[in-house]
């Protein structure tokens, strides 16, 4: 086989592989346009933790011993802050927010679309400084 044929064969195999990888993302759930921007203070303990408990920290998901971050009561805040999921300098590029809206993989939580307005509440909380309040 000549070098020219090998190069053509490699190109023919590489292009479809690159094309398949670019088609992986099938859903993005951005912050809801129907919901007005949240300007009231968002409490981690009363607004976000109940949503994490109900939708994320069940067995086999983001619970103790499960997938990181651990979003169980009493552990979630430190897991998010220490695990570099929060970026108060650029809230819309925080890993937590990107996972929720589906820009890091399957929108979280899987099978639910923005339960309890979790996307906008999380973004507002991060914009407000991601306080442990």
Complete DSSP assignment for 45-108:
IIIIHHHHHHHT-STTSSSTTSSSS--STTTHHHHHHHTT---TTSGGG-HHHHHHHTSSSSPS
pLDDT of residue 14: 57
Q: How confident is the model at residue 50 (pLDDT cuts 50, 70, 90)?
A: very high
Q: Report the percentage of the chain scoring pLDDT > 90.
A: 62
Q: How confident is the model at residue 25 (pLDDT cuts 50, 70, 90)?
A: very low
pLDDT of residue 23: 34
pLDDT of residue 27: 43
Average of per-residue pLDDT values in the chain: 83
Range with lowest mean pLDDT among 29-43, 73-87, 114-128:
29-43
pLDDT of residue 131: 97
């Amino acid at each position: 086989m000549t070098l020219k044929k090998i190069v053509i064969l490699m190109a023919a195999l590489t292009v479809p592989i690159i094309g398949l990888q670019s088609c992986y993302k099938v859903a993005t759930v951005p912050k809801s346009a129907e919901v007005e921007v949240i300007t009231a203070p968002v409490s981690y303990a009363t607004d976000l933790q109940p949503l994490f408990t109900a939708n994320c920290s069940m067995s086999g998901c983001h619970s103790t011993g499960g997938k990181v971050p651990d979003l169980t009561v009493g552990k979630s805040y430190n897991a998010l802050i220490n695990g570099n999921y929060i970026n108060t300098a650029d809230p819309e590029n925080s890993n937590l927010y990107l996972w929720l809206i589906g820009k890091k993989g399957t929108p979280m939580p899987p099978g639910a679309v923005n339960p309890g307005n979790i996307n906008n509440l999380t973004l507002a909380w991060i914009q407000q400084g991601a306080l442990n309040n």
